[in-house]
Amino acid sequence: MVLSVQRDAAPEFEASRRFLWAICYRMTGSAADADDLVQETFARALEHPPPDPSTPWRPWLTRIAVNLARDALRRRKVRGYPGQWLPEPVELDGGMLDAVKAHDDAEQRYSTFESLSYAFLVALEELTPTQRAVLLLRDALDYSVRETAEALEISEPNVKTTLHRARATMANYDETRLPVSTELSARVSRVLYEILGAMASGDVATFESLLATDIVAISDGGGQAFAAKKPVVGAQKIARMYAKLATAASEEGRLEVRELNGLPALVVEDPAVKPPAAHRSVLRIELNGQGKVSRIYSVLNPDKLRRLFSGARC
């Protein structure tokens, strides 16, 4: 019986692997955790297969994956984190996007592309684990209220209440979000190169002119690399801070603009930098409606950069 289930399940597992990875990544913001959770999902599904193994396994696998990811997120929230937490940046290949976008529907609130974007993942951090699960199932995967209730083993009224609260928390994101598009990608890329030019020439005034007056910069060192423990606010302060960092770069340093989570980001590597400073980092920006930089996210935690610098794609 076990061998029969394994044989029947193997094709289902492989067909769903990338789809499930994307769910776990959106739930946790961690590619490393998503890898582990997908494997655990398959193991759990073999131990407890769906009531009728002859039917499609994906709904059952999705149910297991979402609940495992919700539990993992709860543990992370309880465990705490040194300093500010940011999602792990990832490079998405066409196969991953095709596997997930095949399930997009015109009625869903957030497209697959948007729900894998960095800004969306940052916004999700304001939700509780259950709110995050409900929002993703309802608004990104287009699950019905009944399907969501069954997947999370909560009541339908609870789903509705939880979704209402989650959407209220996401209201600021919804009001200010810019659709992920080729046009936005070009704008972000252009501003990144303008920032690089200003930093290279030491032109703090030009750098500051690219920033919104109320800009916020968040850095994640994970307790392993030097990073501001609290958000830094204000264009002048942030421009001076990054200009100072630029002067510390060595001639060995390498800068590259790469597409991460669907939009350009600055990938930095400087072998000459010694701990506790970070010799590898990713800098991301968000633009407001006026084209000014409203957020800067700096990922410095080496654990969150290992996959990216290994060349692995998701």
The mean per-residue pLDDT over the stretch 146-163 comes to 97
Q: Burial of 277 by CB count in 10 Å (0-12 exposed, 13-18 middle, 19+ buried)?
A: middle
* pLDDT for the residue 71: 98
Quote the CA–CA distance of 298 and 283 in Å, as a whole number: 5
Q: Provide the H-helix boundaries in 153-234.
A: 156-169, 171-176, 182-201, 204-209
Quote the CA–CA distance of 148 and 142 in Å, as a whole number: 9
pLDDT tens digits, 207-245: 999 999 999 999 999 999 999 999 999 999 999 999 888
Look-up of token digits 């339908």: 156
Domain boundary assignment for the chain: 2-176, 182-310
Amino acid, res. 279? H
Domain 182-310, CATH class in plain words: alpha beta
pLDDT tens digits, 82-113: 999 999 999 987 666 665 655 556 668 998 88
Sheet containing strand 211-220, edge to edge, reads 232-233, 211-220, 293-299, 280-287, 263-269, 254-260
Residue 1 has pLDDT above 50, yes or no: no
Look-up of token digits 């729900």: 115
Tell me the pLDDT band of 12, cut-offs 50, 70 and 90.
confident
Residue 287 has pLDDT above 50, yes or no: yes
Quote the CA–CA distance of 183 and 262 in Å, as a whole number: 12
Domain 2-176, CATH class in plain words: mainly alpha
Start-to-end CA span in the chain (Å): 34
